[in-house]
Amino acid sequence: MILLTGATGKTGMAAAKAIAAAGKKARVVTRDAAKAAQLTALGHELAVGDLSDAAFLREAMRGIERAFLLLPNTERQGAMEAQFTDIAKAAGVRHLVKISSIEAHAGIGARVPEMHAASEAHIKASGMAWTMVKPNFFMQTLLAASAGVKARGELTMPMGNGRVSMVDCRDAGAVIAKALLEPGHEGQSYKLTGPESLNFAEIATRMSAILGKPVKYVDPPLTAYRENLLKALPDPWRVEAVCEIFATTAKGQREIEALTDTVQRLLGRSPVGLDTFISDYKPAFA
């Protein structure tokens, strides 16, 4: 049996759909059963609880051979991932697949990739088989700027002239499902990118063409962006985490700019491109 966390979210839902499309079932975790109607309709089994709750986790891990670990970025993420790993090991889970990030390494100067690097190391030291799925910046992150695109034709993100080989999280979900369903992915780190590396002015130009209206890139100072974000997000830790990631992107960085062929190699098809992403999410932008 497979345990799938984050299954009501963007990436986990894509993995849940791919697992169901392969004719398999998983035990899916959510804190809120009301959010899981689509998952039960796919034939998945529900485990309702919070991943910070060790007793719930021990129960959810019963009979599990392969597990997928995804948690959103919070101050507690690292501690919760370590607890998940230790309980999985004690429960006899054989293979742990974790979502990490392409730039996860110590000393990068951003708390989220550094946390992912520490969590990867903890899993690798556990003795369980592992697969690290390491996506670049998700295209879906552009949805955070969609209201400005819709209302004013402005894509406002503090990315300077940084280039990013963004990936669609639906591709990440498909890779996660593959790593859980097939043998041969043990001990692999999969860096995932889309098919091209673009800066944000180029992304705005693509939006203009596909949405059929002018969209211009606005690059605010990071301090002003942080202040605005603090009004929308009640968690100052998270705001700082987002700003750190954006600052490393704006500076330009090899891992974030480079392209990989991992999606093509694993899925046997091209990764979703930015134009397709914008078309698929057109109602959010236009």
Please say whether the beta carbons of 31 and 48 come within 8 A. Answer: yes
We find the least distance from the C-beta atom of residue 132 to ligand NAP, in angstroms, to be: 11
Binding of residue 229 to ligand NAP (CB under 6 A): no
Q: What is the dihedral of CA 274, 11, 263, 131, to 10 degrees?
A: 150
Please say whether the beta carbons of 234 and 81 come within 8 A. Answer: no
Tell me the C-alpha distance between 53 and 56, whole Å: 5
Task: Report 77-106 residues binding ligand NAP (CB under 6 A).
Answer: 99, 101
Task: Report 107-136 residues binding ligand NAP (CB under 6 A).
Answer: 112, 135
We find the least distance from the C-beta atom of residue 212 to ligand NAP, in angstroms, to be: 27
* 3-state DSSP assignment of residue 252: coil
Binding of residue 10 to ligand NAP (CB under 6 A): yes
- Contacting ligand NAP (CB under 6 A), which of 38, 45, 73, 267? 73
Tell me the C-alpha distance between 71 and 211, whole Å: 33
- Contacting ligand NAP (CB under 6 A), which of 2, 3, 4, 6? 6
* Between 19 and 51, CB nearer to ligand NAP: 51
Binding track, positions 139-168, relative to ligand NAP; x by CB under 6 A = --x---------------------------
Question: Cα separations (Å) of 214 from 76, 149, 160, 274?
Answer: 41, 9, 20, 17
Task: Report 166-185 residues binding ligand NAP (CB under 6 A).
Answer: 169
* Between 32 and 268, CB nearer to ligand NAP: 32
Task: Report 14-43 residues binding ligand NAP (CB under 6 A).
Answer: 29-32, 35
Tell me the C-alpha distance between 206 and 203, whole Å: 5
Binding of residue 52 to ligand NAP (CB under 6 A): yes
Other C-beta atoms closer than 10 Å to the C-beta of 230 total: 15
Largest CA distance in the chain: 56
Tell me the C-alpha distance between 97 and 173, whole Å: 12
Q: 3-state DSSP: the chain helix, strand, coil percent, rounded to 5?
A: 50, 15, 35
Select the residue whose beta carbon is closest to ligand NAP and give its number.
9
We find the least distance from the C-beta atom of residue 6 to ligand NAP, in angstroms, to be: 4
Tell me the C-alpha distance between 61 and 32, whole Å: 18
- Contacting ligand NAP (CB under 6 A), which of 3, 4, 11, 168? 11
We find the least distance from the C-beta atom of residue 199 to ligand NAP, in angstroms, to be: 16
- Contacting ligand NAP (CB under 6 A), which of 50, 59, 182, 235? 50
We find the least distance from the C-beta atom of residue 108 to ligand NAP, in angstroms, to be: 13
Tell me the C-alpha distance between 128 and 97, whole Å: 10
- The residue ranges that bind ligand NAP (CB under 6 A) are 5-12, 29-32, 35, 50-52, 70-73, 99, 101, 112, 135, 137-138, 141, 169
